[in-house]
Amino acid sequence: MPDCERLATCPFFNDRMSKMPAMADLVKEHYCRQHFDQCARYRVMKALGPNLVPRDLYPSQHERVDLMLKPKG
């Protein structure tokens, strides 16, 4: 799989989140360079648009994304 289309602007990939995890480079290698379709940030971007991706959302926070994307009602 190619690199994620968000590499240039993504706060996680560019170390612009307030707390970067210790294993950030490995996380980037897994998600950003290989499996971006499994990234929580990417999921929100595709579902809601890039402006609605929470700034502090990590690529592995799928439970948080599931709640965000859960149909209301």
Q: Distance of CA 5 to CAs 8, 22, 33, 73, Å?
A: 8, 24, 10, 33
* Residue number with CB closer to ligand SF4 (36 or 65): 36
Query: Is there binding between residue 59 and ligand SF4 (CB under 6 A)?
Result: yes
| Residue appearing with tokens 């929100």 | 44
Q: What is the DSSP string of 20-57?
A: --TTHHHHIIIIITT-GGG-HHHHHHHHH-GGGS-TT-
Locate 27 and state its tokens.
């996380």
Q: Provide, rounded to whole angstroms, the least separation between the CB of residue 73 and ligand SF4.
A: 28
Nearer to ligand SF4, 41 or 65 (CB): 41
Query: Which range binds ligand SF4 by CB under 6 A, 15-23, 34-42, 61-69?
Result: 34-42
* Footprint on this chain of ligand SF4 (rule: CB under 6 A): 4, 6-7, 10, 12-13, 31-32, 36, 39, 41-42, 59
